Amino acid sequence: MAELLRVPEVAAGATEVILSEWLVKTGESFSNGDPIAVVETEKAVVEIAAPADAFLLRTLADAGTEVSVGSPMALYGSAEEKDGDLDDMLTGLGVSASPVTEAEPRREVPDTEAESPGPTEDPPPQRIEDTGVEEQEATGAEQVPGDGARLFISPIARKLLRDAGIPAEGISGSGPNGRIVRRDVESLIADSRSASPVVQTPPEQAPAAVQQEARPTPSTAGFTDVPHTRLRRAVATRLTESKQSIPHFYLTGRAAVDDLLALRTQLNEHSPVRISVNDFVLRAVAVAHTEVPDANVIWTDDATRRFDDVDISVAIASDRGLVTPVLRAVQGRSLSSIAAAVKTYVSDANAGRLQQRDLEGGAISVTNLGMYGVPEFSAIINPPQSAILAVGAGQPVTRIVNGEVAIVTEMTLVLSVDHRVIDGALAAQWMQSLVAALEHPLRLVV
């Protein structure tokens, strides 16, 4: 019997996702567990797995549309049902046969039209279409008054433009019929960051006097409003909730890392992938969690959850915003394995290929601003984790070593801790173990 494929909750608390693309065409078969569609959340691109061996009978949501979690996105069934009455099947399942489209106006009204003193029988000077197929006016022929033009734009491209504060008019699209697609917007945004903030429009598309700025126009009051991106809103909400609901406390450790830096130089002469100081820190965190297992926990409403493996989130400032993918079972990884995994995550984050599962799990995060020369800082815990380690830059300081004054390279480490599950003494014991591992780095390679 034909069944509905519904939009799953791919991220905790998510109510809407953007259907990025279908990986299976209507009428094609798929096997249980095969990826059949791709959806986008605020932080990741997630593949939707097939629930059974079946055929894709009909899609109920177009690629590029925003769909609600739990809503039907497709109808699937057996080979025999491919030739059946799909409308009747959908009706029997209580679903409309019409595809899901974005709950937004299909037409955007220019300012000049909004200020018009009265209605007009002429067609609007511009239309922005959500579909990839050019549509006719009710009269059966497309009419474009004056220099006006019809613009075709995918919903996801329109959202990216809106988030960046860039108008759609005057942009050349590379899709069918000149449709503006996601890659056009991403390329435009990237170009605007390194070149002039003005988007040059070809003469045949718009008059030279109607060139649009690629960035929000500064107001006469002396400020500029830059619209929030979806990712920026998600980060803001999450961190606000963290500071409001998690009782943070902080403690600081300082590690002499001269031996670590010397060992890193030697290892990089033979390692297949370049190892960073942060890779050593990640390995040291795994050692500290192994030696102090009571710190490898998180708070839940009903219990303290203790993990068997040491999974660590790594803060990455990607081209798309801050993300924290999780390295799995770091206690069993080599330094070169950690380095390779982090580099892969950085590449995936910049390309928007991170999956939701890459962002879930772990009890601690590591964030490092040492490469920017920041000597010391504290960070906000990434819920539901119980701690985050802020790593500063190594600085030359004087220490008493074997009774003599010496200059050593010292790294400052600030641990933010959830006091609900980790007490001060336990956190201090964990920090002691971390500093010892960093100051005796051979422990990190055996």
Euclidean distance between CA atoms 6 and 34, whole angstroms: 16
Task: From the candidates 248, 270, 289, 419, give the one annotated as an active-site residue.
Answer: 419
Cβ-contact 64, 131 below 8 angstroms? no
Quote the tokens at residue 407. 């200059």
Catalytic residue status for 419: yes
Helix or strand holding residue 401 (H, E): strand 395-401
Annotate 67-81 with b (16+ C-beta within 10 A) or e (fewer).
bebeebbbbbbeeeb
Euclidean distance between CA atoms 294 and 298, whole angstroms: 10
Cβ-contact 25, 56 below 8 angstroms? yes
Q: 276 in helix, strand or coil?
A: coil
Cβ-contact 392, 273 below 8 angstroms? no
Cβ-contact 247, 418 below 8 angstroms? yes
Euclidean distance between CA atoms 433 and 446, whole angstroms: 16
Helix or strand holding residue 172 (H, E): none
Best CA proximity match to 152, nearest among 107, 190, 122, 98: 107
The tally of CA atoms less than 13 A away on the side-chain side of residue 383 is 20
Best CA proximity match to 17, nearest among 111, 167, 156, 117: 156
Distance from CA of residue 390 to its chain's centroid? Answer: 21
Annotate 365-388 with b (16+ C-beta within 10 A) or e (fewer).
bbbbbbeeeeebeebbbbbbbbbb
Residues with active-site annotation: 419
